[in-house]
Chain A
Amino acid sequence: MTPELTVLTLAALLQIVQFALYAVPANLELTPGYTMSPRDRDPSREMSERTARLGRAFDNHFQNLALFTIAVMVLAFSDQSTAFTAACAWVYLIARVLYIPAYAFGWTPARSYIWFAGFLATTLMLLAALI
């Protein structure tokens, strides 16, 4: 298993943690009666600001995780894993962990820079796979 694959496993586990961080307060606030329904209407109670932020952080990680997965897989299959790509993978993971409190507590503009660090790390991995 390449170091990138280890990080990918941890990143997928992080997404499960993010799901719990969002789903638990969302269920408490909207009530399970609403969340278990087909949700045809908007909820009668509003989610708190922090929960809505955790929801957006969760959605954002889906997109970035999909790209990160591709970068890791391509590197693993083409045997192009290097110390540099492994370092990029760790940067990605650290950025995505920090992204959660950054969003939840409204760290501005740190959240954008943290997001960009993860994005840049993924880009460098994809470029490393091509050259």
Chain B
Amino acid sequence: MTELTLLAAYGLLVMLTIILQALGSFRTLSIGYLMSARDEPREVGRMTNRIKRALDNSVVAMALFAPAVLLLEVQGKTDANSLLAAQVFLVARIIYLPVYALGVPAIRTLAWTAGFAATAILYFLAL
């Protein structure tokens, strides 16, 4: 397992989030509406809204995590520390998704912080 493997795995996690969000929308909105141009906005259920917010947050996290991994790779600076940080990031983000969807408050914040701190460490290692 390398940092790149973890990055690819995280990309798939974000795609899973997109699918979950779409499935949640299927439950409350008609397929006809979803396939239309959605000119008038419609409300989705509470859990689907949470998954949407988790998705927005995951995309921001991805935009920060991906360059850090690529910077380490380009410079050949990957080591045991960067691998551990990338693993912490992925595990934290895996926890983040169900915890957000189920509305568990404190653990969600902890998971987010762990992922954020792990990304920051990756940038320090890249410098």
Contacts and interface: CB of A to CB of B under 8 A. Distances in A.
A66 B37 contact: no
A70 interface: yes
B39 A73 contact: no
Report the contact-size class of chain B (Cβ under 8 Å from the partner). 20 to 34
A7 B8 CA distance: 18
Report the contact-size class of chain A (Cβ under 8 Å from the partner). 20 to 34
A74 B7 CA distance: 8
Interface string B63-83: 100100010011000000000
A53 B36 CA distance: 11
Determine which residue in A63, A70, A73, A119 has the highest number of CB atoms from chain B within 10 A of its CB, and name it. A70
B39 A67 contact: no
B92 interface: no
B8 A77 contact: no
Contacts of A74: 4, 7-8, 11
Contacts of A73: 7, 66, 70
28 contacts: A49-B37, A53-B37, A56-B38, A62-B59, A66-B62, A66-B63, A67-B11, A67-B62, A70-B10, A71-B11, A73-B7, A73-B66, A77-B4, A77-B73, A106-B37, A108-B35, A108-B37, A109-B35, A111-B35, A111-B37, A112-B34, A119-B15, A122-B15, A123-B15, A126-B12, A130-B5, A130-B9, A130-B12
A-B pairs with lowest CB-CB distance, top 8: A109-B35, A106-B37, A70-B11, A129-B8, A112-B35, A74-B8, A126-B11, A126-B8
Interface of B: 2, 4-5, 7-12, 14-15, 18, 32, 34-39, 59, 62-63, 66, 70, 73-74
